[in-house]
Chain A
Amino acid sequence: MTSITPINPVEPFLRTERMPHIWCPGCGIGTSVNSFARALTEANMDLKNVAIVSGIGCTGRVAGYMKLDSFHTTHGRAIPFATGLKLANPKLNVVVYSGDGDLFAIGGNHLIHAARRNVDIKVVCVNNLIYAMTGGQTAPTTPGAVVTSTNPYGTYDPSFNLPYLVEAAGAVYVARWTAFHVRQLARSMQEMFKKKGFSFIEVISPCPTLYQRRNKMGDGLDTMKFYKEVSKIKNGAPTSEVALSKAGEIVVGKFVDREREDYRDLMHDRLTEVLGDQYVEAEACECSI
C-alpha cells in the first residue's frame, strides 16, 4: 500500500524547519508569502539568484522563513542594504519584503531616494496600517479615527498614501492589492519581477490581533469579507485618488507601469561617455582576491 502525501506547492520555498511561524491566525503576511512563492514559480525565477531583504517587524520576519539567500537587517534599512547587494552583485534579483512602519516611517528617507535613483530592487510592502510586532502603535499609514495603543482616543495624524508617494519619488511599477486578492497579487509580483528599476507593491493586510480587534472590526475572516466588499479594481487610477480611510473604498490594481533607465544603466552611460576606454565596468564588484 502506498501512502500519498500531498505536497503544498509553496513548501519548497519555505524553511520548514523553522515552522511554526510567529504570525497570528488571520494575519495577511503569510497569505502574501504564498502569493510570492507562487509568483516565483510561475515566473520561472532562478531561485539561486533571488535574494530577499527585510527590515524589522512582523513582515520583517519574511526573510527568515523563505528558503532563499535572505537578509534580516536593521529597522528601516532593508532598502539601503538591498541597494548595496544589488550594485555589488547585479545578477541577483533583490526583493525587499517589509512592513509599512519599517519602510515608510524609520526607513522613509531610504525608500524615496532608492526610488529617485531607480535602483533595480523590488519592494513588497505589507501594510497592516499599524506597528504590529511592538503591540499596535500608530504608524504613518494608520488612517484617521483608529484606536491604537499610542492613540487610545483615536488617531488624528494624517497618513501617507503609499502609491502616490512612491510614484512621485520615481518608481517604475506601482500596484496595490489586499490579502483577499491572492491571485491578482501573485500576477502583479510576476510582472514586477520582469520590470527593471524600482518597483513597489502594497499589500493591504489585516492585523486581527491589534488593529481589527481594538477597532471592533471583527476577525481575519470578517476582514476578508470587508476587503471583498470595499475593494474596487481600478487599474491606472491616478495615485492621488487612492488614499485609504478607516472604512471607505480600497482602490486596488496596477497604478504605474513605466520605463526609466535604472541606476546602473545611468551610471554606465555617464561613465562611458566621460571616461571612454578608461571606464572599467565590472560584472560585479567581486573581491577577486
Chain B
Amino acid sequence: MHADPAGVMTGSHFLDGDHACCEGALAAGARFSSGYPITPSTEVVERFSARVPTVGGTFIQMEDELAASITLQGAVWGGAKAFTVTSGPGFSLMMEHIGLAVMTETPCVFVNVQRGGPSTGLPTLPAQGDMMQVRWGSHGDYEIIALCPNSPQESFDLTIKAFNLSEKYRVPVFVMLDEVVGHMTEKVVIPPADQIEVEPRRYTTIPPGEFLAYQPKDDLVPDMPRTGEGYNVHVTGLTHDERGYPDMTPAQQDKLVKRLVDKIRKNADKIILYEEDQVEGADVVVVSYGITSRVAQRAIDLAREKGVKVGKFRLITAWPFPEKKIAEIASKVKALVVAELNLGQMVREVERAVAGKAVVRFVGHAGGSVHRPEDILQAIMEVAR
C-alpha cells in the first residue's frame, strides 16, 4: 500500500533531522501526536503541530511525558497512527507505557532524540546513552525494535520504516536519533507518495462475536479489532488470554510473554537492517551507529590510507541486534572496534555475539560531543598490529 499524498511533501528539501522525522511520520500516515516539550526533540512536534491541521489530524501538548506516552495509545485504539517524541528525562518517564504498548500490542512509534545523561545531564548536547534503556527500561521481559538514523535523510526514511514495523508486528518501535542528527541540516529527498510503501493496520475481517482479540496469526501477531464496531474489545496491561481477559496463571504468563518476545525474535532476520562496506577480507571491522558512524567513516578512510584492511559495519536496527552477523564477522577478523557515544552499551552485545572469537576494542565517552576521528583511528591501528 502507498502513502496518502496529503501528508507527503514530495521534493528536495534542506531539513534538519528533527523536521525530517516529522515529515517521515506524516508520510507514514501519522495523524496524531501527543507530546511534551524537551530539548533537543521539540522541533519534531513543533513542525507536526503546524503541519497536521492541514492534512487532517491532531496534535495535543500534554501535561507531562507520562500523559504523552499513553494519550497516543488511546489515539491508536481510536484508529489513528500515532507517535510521541522526547529525550532523556522524558524518555525515563515513558518507560511504564512502553511496557503497556508491548503488553497490549499497540502499534506506535516513540522518537528519542538522545542527549547526555544521567538526569538533566546535557540538554543541548549529543549522546547515545539510552541504547540499553530502550531495550530494557520497562519492567519484565519483552522485545522491541529500535532504529538508528545517521542523517536527516535517514531520519525521514527510518521514521516511515518505524511506523511500518510497528503496524506489522504490533509493537512499539523507537527512532533513536541523537542531538547532532536531530539538529544537523542536510538535503532530504522526499519521494512521490506512490513510491512510499506504507504498512496498513492489520484490522481483522472476522465479525464481532467470533473474533478472539489476542489469537495470533502464523507470524505470532494477532489482527486488531476496530473500536466502536461492536467488538467489545477488552484491552488490559494485565496478563491476559486470547479473549483479552485477565488470566493470572503462570502457564498463561509464560504463553503470552513468550509469544510477545518470539514475535520479534523469530522474525528478527526479516527486521534487522545494517550497512556494511569492505567487511569481506577485512582485518578490523568498525561497528558503530547513528552520528558516530559518520565520524567512524573518517577514521576508516584514514586507516585505509595507511594500508589497513578495515571494514565498516553500521547498525541500523540496534534492536533486534544482528548477533548472527556479528558472530560471522568475528570468525573472520582479528578485531572489532566498537565506537559509540556512551561508556559501553552496544559493545556488550557485540562482545556477547563475538564470544571471544576476536578482539573487541571499545571507543567511547560519556557524550557532549561526537568522537574525534583520531581516537577511533588510534584504536583501529592498535588492534590491527
Contact = CB atoms under 8 A, between A and B. Distances in A.
A87 B80 CA distance: 10
A241 interface: no
Contacts of B3: 289
Interface size range of chain B in the complex: 35 or more
A89 B79 contact: yes
Contact of B79 (A76, A81, A287): A287
B228 A91 contact: yes
A281 interface: yes
B97 A77 contact: yes
A285 B73 contact: no
B227 A287 contact: no
Interface string A258-289: 00000000010001000100111110111111
Interface string A32-48: 00000000000000001
B246 interface: yes
Interface residues of A, number: 48
B223 to A, nearest CB: 15
Contacts, number: 175
B4 A113 contact: no
Contact of B57 (A68, A282, A289): A282
A39 to B, nearest CB: 18
A110 interface: yes
Given A69-B233, A72-B237, A110-B67, A92 B78 contact: yes
Contacts of A26: none
Contacts of B66: 76-77, 80, 110
A175 B249 CA distance: 40
B73 A81 contact: yes
B198 A289 contact: yes
B141 to A, nearest CB: 18
Secondary structure call for the A interface? mixed
A17 B231 CA distance: 16
Contact of B228 (A51, A67, A74, A109): A51
Contact of A271 (B1, B53, B68): B53
A92 B79 CA distance: 11
Contacts of A84: 32, 34, 60, 70-78, 82
A47 B378 CA distance: 68
Contacts of A113: 62-63, 67
Interface in B88-130: 96-97, 100
Given A282-B58, A285-B31, 13 more contacts: A70-B233, A80-B66, A80-B68, A83-B67, A84-B72, A85-B77, A88-B80, A89-B79, A281-B56, A282-B56, A285-B56, A285-B82, A286-B80
Interface of B: 1-4, 6, 29, 31-32, 34, 53-58, 60, 62-64, 66-68, 70-82, 96-97, 100, 198, 200-201, 227-238, 245-246
16 contacts: A15-B234, A18-B245, A63-B236, A68-B232, A71-B236, A77-B70, A84-B71, A84-B73, A88-B76, A281-B56, A282-B31, A284-B80, A285-B57, A287-B29, A287-B81, A288-B29
